[in-house]
Structure 1
């Protein structure tokens, strides 16, 4: 059933006849009369008793009147919801990432987005490394992903955010015997605390030290790893901004050569939601070499 025919029908009921209804709809009387006859023909019923001066609803007409008003109300509610999302006064954006970026840059991106759009919900989904992020995007489980840009993402649209520097955080007693910055080759002799269950992290450590033989604690919980470093159990490689904000009373050393990885947003092809477009804009406006912008 065409929505405009439903609208015309309700107008005729409300105005008690074709003439006033046509005036309210800004269409001609013959056009409105034809529209009502078309509706009756499609439904196979007579909607109005036309024997008197005022059109009266038949039994079928009264049944349709209830349904028609419900249809129009549902359409208006749907329009309002769409408008709210387009104007970003409601809605949700789903972002997938993994532990390497769960604090930097996710926390700052979400904070900035929420400052601009306080009525839009952000859902941060955990992916199992870069492969998990790309898989979640392809399956439609999220619109955006935060990922290491050196990973092959050629099938997706991407927005560079910046370069994330990785540093060594270690207890002062371990730092005393090391130069500053610390040569990458020296990592082989340092007891490390890392999450080897994170495939991307495990691959990074294996590349840095030629394996994982000196990983003395394999810990999947970042907060526990940081606490272990602060209590002198070993060292860890992590983003500089995370080290500076989350670890206390430890030494933070750059590596030589400097170790960085490019970070960016990846997005499914095709039109995204207004909320996703706004999130991308926030990311573009807050690019740094940190990666996180500092106030």
Structure 2
């Protein structure tokens, strides 16, 4: 197709062959092969110059579009391979989209600003693992360990869970606070489906009678705590960075969860490899 368009643009086989650095017979043979595949002659060869037939005229514009599409496709593949374009799908637990996902995503984006990050919350650790295992996402950010022989893990460390309280509730409260003392503290909790409870939810299974507010919106939970509606459990880094005018208490025993990235066995996309590299500076 490229040879056919070149013959048209250069006004003949000889000049087209020179422009393409081909032997003239090779170019002519390729055009003949194209005509056989199409089942129609593209050029009228009865005169001294090649003239497009009706079939050739009808084929010219589609051929140009196909060549342009092919060039765009090559460019897209090159962009993905060179990390100047493309997309990386990451499944992440909702509780980890505040920490550590922003830091990881920012580090990756500074290195590869042309790659689109698509972050989804499948709805719990098991769903994160399933989305990665089934190829719906390239990487997963979740609690560890994750069970499944087909998945590999990159641990990112432990996340300490602390109690964030308004000053009125923190007065006289020990640091760390015994977990059994939480019975006397009204809690503001983010709604989580019971089938996707994390380690923290298991620790707090008996606190249902002490919950003062349940809310589906994380930011609203924080504002409620800041305005004295109750206390909440958060990763320490999130509590220290995001909440204002609150007191922070560790727990006794400590509540921690190990977090990390999960991915499938075998070759990964260039973007997924680059994200793993950015996660381990």
Gaps of 5+ in 2: none
1:43 match: 38
Distance 1:187 1:268 in 2: 40
Is it true that 1:114 corresponds to 2:109 in the alignment? yes
Q: Give the count of matched residue pairs.
A: 280
CA contact 1:96–1:142 (8 Å) conserved in 2: yes
Say which SS state the counterpart of residue 159 (structure 1) adopts.
strand
CA contact 2:5–2:60 (8 Å) conserved in 1: yes
Deviation of 1:139 after TM superposition, in Å, equals: 5.2
Is it true that 1:247 corresponds to 2:243 in the alignment? yes
Match of 2:164 among 166, 169, 184: 169
2:98 match: 103
Distance 2:148 2:104 in 1: 21
Is it true that 1:228 corresponds to 2:228 in the alignment? no
Is it true that 1:68 corresponds to 2:63 in the alignment? yes
Distance 2:43 2:224 in 1: 81
Distance 2:14 2:223 in 1: 80
- Comparing 62-71 with 114-123, greater Cα deviation is found at 114-123
Aligned runs of 1:146-295 on 2, under 5 Å?
146-199=141-194, 200-201=196-197, 204-208=200-204, 210=206, 212-269=208-265, 271-285=267-281
2:51 match: 56
CA contact 2:141–2:260 (8 Å) conserved in 1: yes
Aligned residues: CA RMSD: 2.6
Q: Call closer, same or farther: CA 1:208–1:21 in 2, change over 3 Å.
A: same
Q: Deviations over 1:246-286 (max 9, x none)?
A: 2222221112233221111223455444333322222122x
Gaps of 5+ in 1: 1-5, 286-295
Q: Deviations over 1:63-114 (max 9, x none)?
A: 2222222211121122223323333333332322232112001122222223
Is it true that 1:142 corresponds to 2:137 in the alignment? yes
Distance 2:216 2:29 in 1: 71
Distance 1:274 1:147 in 2: 21
Deviation of 1:236 after TM superposition, in Å, equals: 1.4
Q: Call closer, same or farther: CA 1:113–1:128 in 2, change over 3 Å.
A: same
Deviation of 1:148 after TM superposition, in Å, equals: 0.5
Distance 1:265 1:245 in 2: 23
2:7 match: 12
